[in-house]
Structure 1
Amino acid sequence: MIVSAEEFIKLRVSEVEAEYHRAAHDAADISIWVDVIERYPSFKEWVVHNKTIPLAILEMLAEDADPAVRRRIATKRKIDSRIVSLLSGDADESVRHALISNAALTEKQLRAMHVQDSQWLQAELAKRLAAYK
């Protein structure tokens, strides 16, 4: 269990494989994740990368100003329908592309994606939807 923001940062930047692994796999209380996000904003993507990250943290970060953070969230299989709905209309094409590529999305969720502004996204979505025919 990760017990502080400082511990998470130490684990994440460690060159010791076991410590680096803990940063990606160990759980932490929500308050610890919030502390990391507030005090170490450059580590937001690594917070999202953690396999045990609570949905509440993903929901909070799904509205982050940084598209790289939102893109990382879009790749997570565990995201719920609220996050999918929010990201499906994201202003950044790369976020929507990551969501289209998420194998956990249902056909219904894919069909609700906002792709009208991008021929590239329309083509990518068509490829994914072809699997349902």
Structure 2
Amino acid sequence: MQEGGREPFHLGEMEYFIEEVYVTEYAFKQWVILVLILKESVEEEEEEEEEEEEEEEEEEEEEEEEEEEEEEEKKSRGLRSSEGLQEHGDDRVKEHRANRIHPLFPHSSSGVSLSNAGQFCKIPSKEKGGGWTRGENMFD
């Protein structure tokens, strides 16, 4: 609806036609204050949203750190079990070491040290014409 070529001003469901507008200095200052208040409230809302996002990120980081700590604890539990055996210094340590398979001597059921490594090495035989035989203990 137009009345004499003027556009209507809508306020809610009502239509108003403004004839003339006079703005006083006081009204202008009030309008500026209102705009500043609205701008400030919008900035506060944005800051709150940023803070919430930061808190969510921190929570996610904390959860990741907790998961990493749990994994480290699981790994350290495995190490502690073998350390616990060594701390006790009883036959369990020997059993634990004996149950390990040495990568160089997989056929050995017990641990291999320098003192008994010679029995697993093949050395040249002088008696049999240079053939290879199992050595007794070449480190004695």
Fold shared per TM-score above 0.5: no
Q: Which of structures 1 and 2 has the larger relative contact order (alpha carbons within 8 angstroms, sep 6+)?
A: 1
| Range of TM-score over shorter length | under 0.3
Normalised by the size of structure 2, how large is the TM-score? 0.23
Structure with higher Rg: it is: 2
Structure ranking higher in strand proportion: 2
Normalised by the size of structure 1, how large is the TM-score? 0.24
